[in-house]
Amino acid sequence: MNILFVGDVFGSPGRHIVREHLPHVLETHAVDLLIINGENSAGGFGITPSIAEELFDLGAHVITTGNHIWDKKEIVEYMTVPANSHVRGRRVLRPANFAHGTPGFGLYEGELGNGTKYAVMNMQGRVFMASSDDPFRKADELLTMIERNTNAKVILLDFHAEATSEKAALGWYLDGRVTAVLGTHTHVPTADERLLHHGTAYQTDVGMSGPFDSIIGVETELVLKRFLTGMPGKFEAAKGNPKMCATLISCDGATGRAHHIQRIMLGE
Ligand code: FE2
Per-residue pLDDT of the chain (268 residues; tens, 9 = 90+): 999 999 999 999 999 999 999 999 999 999 999 999 999 999 999 999 999 999 999 999 999 999 999 999 999 999 999 999 999 999 999 999 999 999 999 999 999 999 999 999 999 999 999 999 999 999 999 999 999 999 999 999 999 999 999 999 999 999 999 999 999 999 999 999 999 999 999 999 999 999 999 999 999 999 999 999 999 989 999 999 999 999 999 999 999 999 999 999 999 7
Domains of the chain and CATH, by start: 2-267 (3.60.21.10)
Distance between Cα 258 and ligand 1 center (Å) = 26
- Contacts of 115 by beta carbon, 8 Å cutoff, 6+ apart: none
Q: Report how far ligand 1's centroid is from the alpha carbon of 230 (Å).
A: 21
Cα distance between residue 213 and residue 218, in whole Å:
9
**Ligand 1 center to 37 CA (angstroms):** 10
> Has 16 been annotated as catalytic?
no
Q: How confident is the model at residue 237, as a pLDDT?
A: 92
- Give the DSSP H/E element, type plus range, for residue 180: strand 180-184
| 8 A C-beta contact, residue 160 and residue 66 | yes
CA 190 to the chain's CA centroid: 15
pLDDT value at residue 268: 74
Residue 137 confidence (pLDDT)? 98
- Ligand 1 centroid to Cα of residue 161, in Å, is 7
- Give the pLDDT of residue 115: 97
Distance (Å, whole) CA 96 – CA 217? 25
What distance in angstroms lies between residue 185's CA and the mean position of ligand 1's atoms?
4
Name the active-site residue from 21, 24, 29, 68: 68
Q: 101 Cβ partners below 8 Å, 6+ apart?
A: none
pLDDT at 150: 97
Within 10 Å of residue 28's Cβ, how many Cβ atoms?
Answer: 9
